[in-house]
Structure 1
Amino acid sequence: MDANHHHRFALPDRSFASITKRDIAKLAEGWGFSEGEIGKVNIVVSELLSNLAKFSANGGEILVKPIGNPIHTFEIVCMDNGPGMSEPARMQEDGVSTFGSSGEGLGAIKRQSSFFDLYSQPNFGTVILVHITKASALSKILQAPARLETGYIMVPKPNETVCGDGFAITVKNSRTEILALDGLGHGTNANEASGQAIAAFHENISLDPANRLRAIHGAIKRTRGAVGFSASISNGTITYCGIGNIAGKLYTPESSLLGAQYKNIISYNGILGHNIPTTLNNQQLEWMRNKILILHSDGLKSRWDIGKYPNLLKHHPTTIAAVLYLDNSRHTDDTLVVVCKAKL
């Protein structure tokens, strides 16, 4: 799967609500969703916009993207720096979050969703994740338990229409291959570099991560270049190699005494397509149930602390990525946050 970037709708005040709802519906139509599915999208977006108008001083933002090839799911991520919720479960009851609205708030959003997740803390804000999946694909998705649950946030630099960051993942039998990229700069040239790197990733999928990055380096020499991280997960082990400043941490399951423990992912200096070390070695770490890998480009501030967000690692990977994006995005560059969680 090659990742689609999110379309970002910033909402500084309620005057943006109607045009945002219209533009999101147009995206759903263009991505092949039916009239009934677009109706669900409209209900969800309307309720989210209502909540943002009531509870967020800065209006917050909504991110949307299609999932699947062919497309089968419409993803909506809503986030704000509002007062947050001390009782998120109670706020999901009809009428509690938006009393007097046509749909009765978060309860209506859950009913329209194929998947729903919410993270909120007092004095932090709220992230809501919604998936609306085509009926024809829903049963197949539910019947296929994944060894690895993956989610991401990928947003172009403000006022850009393409993203220079990139992400790709392939799963075959018991092996998962991952690539995370940041094309140098932003805009079309950065997008070209990351796009060609992803093509080279697929062409060299049988190689180990270090040799795969070396092949990508040779394939993108005529582009602006990129930094990248590649990993292979199988048989209880994650084998990886990185070049440049794709940052990463590998978390172990939380202990009630110690909290979440992690190891930093260390990469080589260099730029794919320009200069890389003569010698590249893979590194290996244990990969077991509930291990969590978090990767990000330099569009995210590096000094975040997962301990600031109680119980966040229990949530869906996209929700985890969205919380980190909400609290740490620079908004001066493309931003990529990838979260992979071991399930089996």
Structure 2
Amino acid sequence: MKARVLKEVGNLEYCDYPMPKLNSGEVLFKVKACGICGSDIPRVFVNGTYHFPTIPGHEFSGIVVDAADEENKKLIGMRATVFPLIPCKTCENCNNGRFEMCKSYDYLGSRSDGAFAEYVRVPVWNLVPIPDNLSYEVAAMTEPCAVGLHALRQAQIEIGDVVVIYGPGTIGMLIAQWARAWGAKVLLVGTDLNNWDFIESLGFTEYCNSSHEDPIEWVKKMTNGVGADIAIEAVGVQVTACNCLESVASGGKVIFVGNPHGDFTFPQNTYWQILRKQLTIHGTWNSSYSDTHKSDWNLVVDALASGKINAEKLITHKFDLETMDKGLEIMRDNTEFFAKIMVVNKD
């Protein structure tokens, strides 16, 4: 099969690669579409994966074409997306159903071969069926959609809440759509790097360009001096983390979503905000997954299929395995506006 194989940092080679060998409980999955995650950029160009060679790619959808066990042959032909985290199912977090916090997990696309390939092996447990009206490209957005939903569920958002989101990138805009669907007022804070016309096309008109305006004062102005009920940090830098603490209301909630780009140091006056406003701070990691209808993943598939969440609008670029270098370069170098860059396999 053809695949993009990370052989060393900076060398994501397009080459022939052996077909996956299935173990019991696994299926052979034909990849139809796979998103390039922001985390894939440092993974490919800076940090590498946990071993070489590895096939990256963890936001994907496709179809089951074979199964290791006879009892799972009935799954052949199933259209699905895939929860990429493979839990140990023995640690205390797994025993409590908190698989996203497993202490000894495997992960497709970083610890095991992922979906920048024509085929990938997938545990049956990780398959999430998708309806026929959901395209493979949109279904491949399930993982980032679930990450956004999981973040808001940490905040226990309520109808009428004011939610300010620092960082209107792909995850930030998915969080914004979830917050709006929940009945919240959404405020967005970004920089000159953000495409404000694109954000308006998604129906969001209350935003602050922090390159030209003080975002803390802007949030206070938009909330009659009170501050936001919920502040979301979706960038992973110190300044936006501090701004969240400064612009949230007393008794409010701050959700840290963005992967940190370095060490954070809070000024003393900013730290005082946590104490004096009696803030609740939540971390969020990955997304919840189970076979119940309330799992993040099942809720996302339903929302995508019904149109409640418009993920298709966020897909700004499409490449195939052979040409995806261009997509990686756009993301790494910020040479043009992008939201989600998708790798779509040719039939």
Global fold match (TM > 0.5): no
Scaled by the length of structure 1, what TM-score is found? 0.29
Scaled by the length of structure 2, what TM-score is found? 0.29
